[in-house]
Chain A
Amino acid sequence: MQELGLIFRALLRNKVGALLISLQIALTLTIMVNAIFMMQQRSEQMLRPSGLDEANIFYLSNTVFAQDYNQQVYLEDDLALLRQTDGVVDAIQINAIPMSGGGWSMGLQTEAGEDKDSTGVAVYMVDDHAINAMGLELLAGENFSQTDIEWRASSQNNWPAKTIISKAMAESLFPDDWQSALGKTAYINQAEPMQITGIVKALQAPWNGWSGVERSMLVPYKMETTGGRFMIRTEAGRRDELMPIIEKALSESNKGRIIRRVTTMDDTRERSYRGHNAVNKILTSVIAVLTLITGFGIVGLAMFSINRRTKQIGTRRALGATKGQIMSFFMIENLMISSFGVLLGVAGAIGLNIWLVSTFSMAPITPGLILTGVIVLFVVGQIAVLYPAMKAAKISPAIATRTA
């Protein structure tokens, strides 16, 4: 510590190497902070609940090829079979699967009319078993009753009288008080009225990259379709055991269709966020590699400067420097180099973030994250310089008289 001024002035006379390392530290901080921020955002997205009892749900597709297939009768048969199977909590026919990437969206508006704003919403066509089969939590209102459910032919365009929406959808339609949505009429297709009869806590749309991913609605429809899906919720822990049993039972009960793509919600989530995971892994590697390179750069510069200053170090020892004072010389020198780098890096990190925010409409970075990055780089610097500094401390004071 006593040598602060001397270290600084000596550093100013050997700027180039120190400056390069400073720039490297600055670049590392800039990239590190923004990359971690992007990773955090992805991780937060991945942590959002879908609203479903994911661990115990699987689904499958039912593809009809028979010509004389009685849609209405066979659907009731299938649902009865599924619901009666031992270990099944409930089952439904559904048009789309949350997080799967494929689905149907509509717009809802609080006032009818082409010129009125509408809010995008994911549409799930289900019957009165949906809340139970998906494991949704009903916050307000009530479930559909059996009489609410209508048959929907494959290209039918009108809409039922009732809907249950997610809380996020309620908040979008009625920003002042989401609870006031209950009982209100919302208009679909600009003018067709639907009454909001229930609000569920959460139900994600099929598209995880969509900003409205939390907005969804349940519509009381049974679909006449040749390509339907069934969603099945089992008792806890029995999903894997029941999947092949149910696949087999459905296949054998009716030979006019094939049962395909038996998939768990867990798999769907995994596939849905595979890209996120991959990007996070890449970003982690980039950060790790950059930090390592910076660490080795610091080691290299320190070793080089210690070799260059061997005689000087011996002389300092001869003049009375203790080993500790030699070590702290290099540690403090590193702190100075790091401080300069970190200062540039903070500016760089904020600059890059401002650019990212304006170009990709990302969220602005938090000061806590920048502070963490700063601390990490200071620690990396001190660790990197530790070994060279220890080597320097071991230089014998006799070097002072023994070298020309």
Chain B
Amino acid sequence: MLTMNNISKVFQTDEVQTHALRDFHLKVNEGDFISVTGPSGSGKTTFLNIAGLLENFTSGTFMLDDIDISKLNDRGRSKTRNEKIGFIFQSFNLIPDLNLYDNVDVPLRYQGLSSKERKKRIVHHLEMVGLGSRMKHLPSQLSGGQQQRVAIARALATNPRFLLADEPTGNLDTQMAKSVMALLEEINQQGTTIIMVTHDDDLANRATRKIQIKDGRVSELDVVSDRANSKIKATEEAIA
């Protein structure tokens, strides 16, 4: 459903060429929870941006649900992003001028849904992330963990096939990181495919697949602990 073959990405500035990705292969299956690790500057964000159609790639083929992405124009990519992909960002990227309700509403408005349908989805997803009672609050009135939950609600409200997260817990303390991670696992179990970049090995190990990017090249790692183990671990930590 998401296949990258031979993808390369070259950033060309006035004097330097940066090969952010080279010879990149990846096949993502429905229901995967893939964690992406690697050193700083290795190309993780570049990979995620290409997978999320935020950036163009230099060469190679990228198929998303049988759509050849290189054939889409800007408008087509925007529509595909809107319909198939949900984003979670390290710094949440909520719109500071809008309350939680309106923030979740933003991508739904681009879909042109009826206000009744939008309302249903907004309320449902905000309740799902435990913020049903704060809908009129502004992002600045929430903690980081709560803001990230709103971002997750916003990403899920469009019912995307993929959830792409670039260090979603990078700005959160351990406790909040864990609860966000637990939420992502829950979402994955309900069928959404997740690709998550993280620096945290513990979190990375809770995914169903682990890939590592080094110098723009990808390699698949064995999953250290299977999902059952990570579940137990999470529960133990929660009790402790």
Contact = CB atoms under 8 A, between A and B. Distances in A.
Contacts of A319: 81-82, 87, 106-107, 110, 154
B70 to A, nearest CB: 17
Q: What 7 A-B pairs have minimum CB-CB distances, sorted nearest first? A: A320-B82, A10-B97, A319-B107, A315-B93, A322-B78, A397-B54, A2-B109
B98 A9 contact: yes
B74 interface: yes
A402 to B, nearest CB: 7
B184 to A, nearest CB: 17
Contact of B49 (A6, A13, A401, A404): A401
B78 A317 contact: yes
B216 interface: no
A397 B112 CA distance: 20
Nearest to A319: B107
Contact of A404 (B83, B91, B106, B109): B91
Given A319-B154, A320-B111, A397 B81 contact: yes
Contact of B107 (A320, A400, A404): A320
B79 A323 contact: no
B107 to A, nearest CB: 4
Interface string B76-110: 00110111000101110101111100100111011
A394 to B, nearest CB: 10
A379 B128 CA distance: 46
B209 to A, nearest CB: 21
A3 interface: yes
Given A312-B93, A319-B107, A323-B75, 20 more contacts: A2-B110, A6-B98, A6-B105, A9-B99, A10-B98, A315-B89, A317-B54, A318-B54, A319-B106, A320-B78, A320-B81, A320-B83, A321-B110, A323-B78, A397-B78, A397-B81, A398-B54, A400-B93, A401-B90, A402-B49
A316 interface: yes
Nearest to A323: B74
A403 to B, nearest CB: 8
Among B90, B106, B109, the most chain A Cβ lie within 10 Å of the Cβ of: B109
Interface string A388-404: 00000000111011111
B166 interface: yes
The bracket for how many chain A residues form the interface is 20 to 34
B145 interface: no
Nearest to A316: B106
B179 interface: no
Contacts of A325: 78, 110
Interface of A: 2-3, 5-6, 9-10, 13-14, 311-312, 315-325, 396-398, 400-404
B109 A6 contact: yes
B45 A402 contact: yes
A398 B49 contact: yes
A285 B213 CA distance: 64
A403 B45 CA distance: 11
B52 interface: yes
Contacts of A402: 45, 49
A48 B99 CA distance: 62
Contacts of A398: 49, 54-55
29 contacts: A3-B109, A6-B102, A6-B109, A9-B97, A9-B98, A13-B97, A14-B97, A315-B95, A316-B95, A316-B106, A317-B78, A318-B52, A319-B106, A319-B107, A320-B81, A320-B110, A321-B78, A322-B74, A322-B78, A322-B79, A323-B74, A323-B75, A397-B55, A397-B78, A400-B54, A400-B89, A401-B48, A401-B87, A401-B89
B95 A10 contact: yes
Among A9, A14, A323, A398, the most chain B Cβ lie within 10 Å of the Cβ of: A398
A404 B90 CA distance: 8
Interface string B105-133: 11101111000000000000000000000
A396 B11 CA distance: 14
Interface residues of B, number: 35
B91 to A, nearest CB: 6
Among A13, A320, A321, the most chain B Cβ lie within 10 Å of the Cβ of: A320
B107 A311 contact: no
Contact of A318 (B79, B81, B112): B81
A317 B52 CA distance: 11
Among B107, B158, B166, the most chain A Cβ lie within 10 Å of the Cβ of: B107
A393 to B, nearest CB: 10
Contacts of B111: 320
B225 to A, nearest CB: 28
A49 B129 CA distance: 80
Contacts of B53: 397
A320 B79 contact: yes
A310 to B, nearest CB: 12
A16 B49 CA distance: 36
A216 to B, nearest CB: 68
A3 B87 CA distance: 20
A323 B91 CA distance: 23
Contacts of B93: 311-312, 315, 318, 400
Contacts of B102: 5-6, 9
A15 to B, nearest CB: 11
Nearest to B155: A319
Nearest to B197: A401
Contacts of A14: 97
A13 B110 CA distance: 22
A400 B87 contact: yes
B100 to A, nearest CB: 12
B193 to A, nearest CB: 18
Contacts of B112: 2
B83 to A, nearest CB: 7
A5 B74 CA distance: 26
Nearest to A320: B82
Among B81, B93, B105, the most chain A Cβ lie within 10 Å of the Cβ of: B93
